[in-house]
Amino acid sequence: MPLAVSPLALPFPVLPPIAGVRFAAGMAGIRYKERTDLVLAEFAPHTGVAGVFTANKCPGAPVDWCRAALPGGTARALVVNAGNANVFTGRAGVASTSETADAAAGLARCLPSEVFIASTGVIGEVLPHDRIVAALPALHGTLDGDAWEAAARGIMTTDTFPKGATRTARIGGTEVRINGIAKGSGMIAPDMATMLCFIATDASLPAPVLQSLLAGGVDRSFNCTTVDSDTSTSDTVLLFATGAAGNAPVADAADPALADFAQALDALLLDLALKVVRDGEGAGKLVRIDVAGAVSDSSARRVALAVANSPLVKTAIAGEDANWGRIVMAVGKSGEPADRDRLSVGIGGTWMARDGAVVPGYDEAPVVAHVKGFEIEIAVDLGLGNGRGTAWTCDLTHGYIDINGSYRS
């Protein structure tokens, strides 16, 4: 039975074509019946590629494949399947990635090392890659520059809505475009990207520059989000640059000519990351945690994530309970420098506690009204320094248990 669409869902935006990029999506019958579960993309020759992958020590075979292919710096094709993660599948998993890459390479007329592969779904079941190989020729025949939304739907698992974003920027005097799609709903925690995300641009940028920009952007977006504190075995973010825009060459990620592009890429990544959080399994509220007064920015972010990952904080938000004591608890357990007598906590713009005590005359009414909304803001000031950090999460409801308690059935 299809899951009810998240109350935090956003409509899929219009993603215009990117020169040198075509997608197709279809049904291979990998696990799901009567729904798209396979996506193929083809890129123009000489397309550059960058990638960031899971920090999980038990990654899937597709992650290993992509890591090995990435140093080549070019990509001609991408194959993504939903329903089976191809994780913990031993030699069979390795063989499935190799044979899938061979099949896609034959269609794209490229080397298998120029084919990137990603899988998402159930862990520990052998991927029936013969169904993928059989379905690829028909997909190749339907490749289309306008198939971004179809691709976004084709990579969904427990997602309740497709996720896409687009931005424009200038490199020198040349306008370039960036499009991206993502999937993710559960098993979402930072340590690189927390799901699958595929971005393409018509900018002309070498792979090392792409890699620097992507790694920095992921750290400021996906690595600041969490749904359930669990880091997936399959997390993959890939950025492809076709070069079709014909902008002037740029050899250094720090070149001022890239400032606008870097800002646009960061904005697109954060857009997609927050859409993943909005679709957290069973989520009803988007929660932002801003931490100030930490000893460093990195410390502030770790405190923010401790609050974001606290089941007690998340269930209090789900129950619309303005229980600031749970926030204090999460700050204290973070392992970061904190002083109870300097700590301040606020929700929805109202400070509830300052310097380790309840604010005199504190009126809970506006806070209660705020936590009844869909977007919740939590503020923490540690009073120790100038460090700042932000994390985003969602509430924790019984819906999360319902989805994950029957994930394989």
The gap from C-alpha 296 to its chain's centroid, in whole angstroms, comes to: 25
Q: Which of 54, 89, 100, 194 is catalytic?
A: 194
How far from 110 is each of 18, 117, 137, 357, 364, CA to CA, in Å?
Answer: 20, 14, 15, 65, 63
Instruction: Annotate 124-144 with DSSP letters as a single string.
Output: SS---HHHHHHHHHHHHTT-B
Q: Are 318 and 373 in contact (CB under 8 A)?
A: no
CB proximity list for 202: less than 8 A, separation 6 or greater: 18, 19, 20, 176, 177, 241, 242, 243, 244, 245
Q: Token digits for 258?
A: 């890239």
Taking the C-alpha atoms of residue 386 and residue 242, their distance in angstroms, rounded to an integer, is 41
Beta strands in 184-231 (DSSP E): 196-201
Q: What is the DSSP letter of 2?
A: P
Taking the C-alpha atoms of residue 409 and residue 397, their distance in angstroms, rounded to an integer, is 20
Q: What is the DSSP letter of 243?
A: -
How far from 143 is each of 12, 41, 150, 244, 265, CA to CA, in Å?
Answer: 20, 7, 11, 18, 25
Indicate the annotated binding residues.
157, 183, 194, 281, 404, 409
Residue at token pair 């929700």? 347
How far from 238 is each of 77, 116, 196, 197, 230, CA to CA, in Å?
Answer: 12, 9, 8, 6, 21
Q: Are 29 and 211 in contact (CB under 8 A)?
A: no
- Concerning whether 233 is annotated as a catalytic residue, the answer is no
Indicate the annotated binding residues for substrate.
157, 183, 194, 281, 404, 409
Q: Are 330 and 310 in contact (CB under 8 A)?
A: yes
Strand arrangement of the beta sheet that strand 115-122 belongs to: 21-26, 38-43, 77-84, 115-122
Identify which of 71, 143, 132, 72 has the alpha carbon closest to the alpha carbon of residue 98: 132
Q: Is 317 helix (H, G, I), strand (E, B) or coil?
A: helix
- Active-site residue numbers? 194
